[in-house]
Chains A and B, each alone.
Chain A
Amino acid sequence: VDMALSNVLELPASGFNFENSARNAVLEDVLGDGKTKTPKPMKTGTTIAGVVYKDGVVLGADTRATSSEVVADKMCAKIHYIAPNIYCCGAGTAADTEKTTDLLSSNLTIFSMNSSRNPRVIMAVSILQDMLFRYHGQIGAFLILGGVDFTGSHLYSVGPYGSVNEVPYLAMGSGDHAAMGILEDGFKPRLELDEAKTLVCSAIHAGIMSDLGSGSNVDLCVITRQGVDYIRPYQESEFKDQRQGRYKYKPGTTPILRENVEPVEVEVMQETVQKMDTA
């Protein structure tokens, strides 16, 4: 009879385990009236936006990634490739948006190979919705999905809890209030390409100016039936500065006191040759 010893370590079940989030919630309640808070994951303060225009979809994003008060990346790419006809802007936890869109893209590539078809935007949205709902909001991905398929041009917002909304224009991220104001004012159905690009760029620019978490340049991605135009950057930051000093050290800055060269002796123990069968 096999009896498991009580002190044998139990292997964790595969997949995510959310026991601790329930525990954290209880602890926050119990400890000190909201004075003790659980540590928060790193987020990209962001402004992302999208607009459906006459011939397709224009997506836009800023390019700043922050680590608290420090700008960690001045040129990060927030518009992710999903399929040849579908791109996705991501706000929220940087790692989550990156991995979620990667997973989605891989799944859709396999589907395309199996069925010889470009995926429909609604398929991408459904897969995202199912996945994010399963994780109960623990995956902090606020996504704007845009694409063109044979049913037309589509723009969807996907929230971290799995809620989906199809809309003609949209902004998300910490700078969304500023961007939304511009979009509400400037949007008309069936815009021309240049009008749409200007509108999205202004919306992102408003986010960059009014939100501390957004900044640097504006990236745009134009998706049409004919193809994709990924413009990175579309508009550069007006506040680029000139570095006053250089960080490279001249060779010889550190004096070499002594040099000692020792060859490494290699002894050949065994040599085998296997012919490759090229018949």
Chain B
Amino acid sequence: EHPKMSGSQVKGVSTGTTILAVKYRGGVIIGSDSRASIGGDYVVSKVVNKLIQVHDRIFCCIAGSLADAQAVTKMAKFQLSFLSIQMESPPLVKAAASVLKELCYRNKEELQAGFITAGWDKKKGPQVYTVSLGGMLVSQPFTIAGSGSTYIYGYVDAKYKPDMSREECMQFATNALALAMGRDNVSGGIIHLVVITEDKAEHVIVPGNKLPKFHDE
């Protein structure tokens, strides 16, 4: 008999969360909220960083059990660093996503964590991949995940355009996260964004009082 594996039954600190990644013209923006909670009623940390750098131009954002996610990304960081030494070149974004997928799929009974991997590589440029709870790996132009994502499917489906400029994409990501944080009780805090291009990975923070406000706020 397997123990029930629903998102609300994560043991320990959980990042009930909203995370997303969006490809734009020349790069990719990956973003998250910053709340970590226990059992849906106590906020353990208001300033958790859910955007983990696994290589120079590859980031992943985490959802689910914080302990599981940190353990998996630690392992992935090591494997990718080793891989880049063996191959004498930076790893492909797909390779990073694959590493996470292998870890999630092989240990699916024990782990409760999902990831979005995004980055830039020489072969295919900017890319976005989702690795879900059970280890499914899918490539998409943009993706949202976490408990808060359910509230913004409509918004992102309506507002996404391929080949946006950097500013349009930043606004899109910020708005989506702010809307989700406004409705989901286990998402909140500040917005963390990382803009990844060929040249650099730039970390942008939108503090709580600078979040976009909508009609009833």
Contacts and interface: CB of A to CB of B under 8 A. Distances in A.
B1 A159 contact: no
A129 B70 contact: yes
A107 B207 CA distance: 40
18 contacts: A129-B70, A129-B74, A130-B71, A132-B67, A133-B67, A133-B68, A133-B71, A157-B44, A159-B67, A160-B12, A162-B67, A162-B70, A163-B13, A163-B66, A164-B70, A165-B45, A165-B48, A165-B66
Interface in B117-143: none
A25 B79 CA distance: 34
B82 to A, nearest CB: 17
Interface string B58-81: 000000011110110010000000
A162 B13 CA distance: 9
A133 to B, nearest CB: 5
A28 to B, nearest CB: 11
Interface of B: 1, 3, 11-13, 36, 44-45, 47-48, 65-68, 70-71, 74, 110
Given A25-B3, A157-B44, A165-B66, 13 more contacts: A26-B1, A129-B71, A132-B67, A133-B70, A136-B110, A159-B12, A159-B66, A160-B12, A161-B12, A163-B12, A163-B67, A165-B13, A165-B36
Interface in A129-183: 129-130, 132-133, 136-137, 157, 159-165, 167
Given A165-B44, A167-B45, A159 B71 contact: no
A137 B66 CA distance: 13
B58 to A, nearest CB: 21
A135 to B, nearest CB: 11
Contacts of A161: 11-13, 65-68
A259 to B, nearest CB: 64
A130 B71 CA distance: 8
B13 A159 contact: yes
A25 B70 CA distance: 25
A60 B184 CA distance: 34
Interface of A: 25-26, 129-130, 132-133, 136-137, 157, 159-165, 167
Nearest to B36: A165
Given A25-B3, A167-B45, A137 B70 contact: no
A122 to B, nearest CB: 12
A26 B13 CA distance: 23
Contacts of A159: 12-13, 66-67
Contacts of B110: 136
Contact of B71 (A157, A162, A165, A167): A162
Given A25-B3, A26-B1, A163 B11 contact: no
Contacts of A26: 1
Contacts of B47: 167
B192 to A, nearest CB: 14
Q: What 4 pairs across the A-B complex have the smallest Cβ distances?
A: A161-B12, A161-B67, A163-B66, A162-B67
Contacts of B65: 161, 163
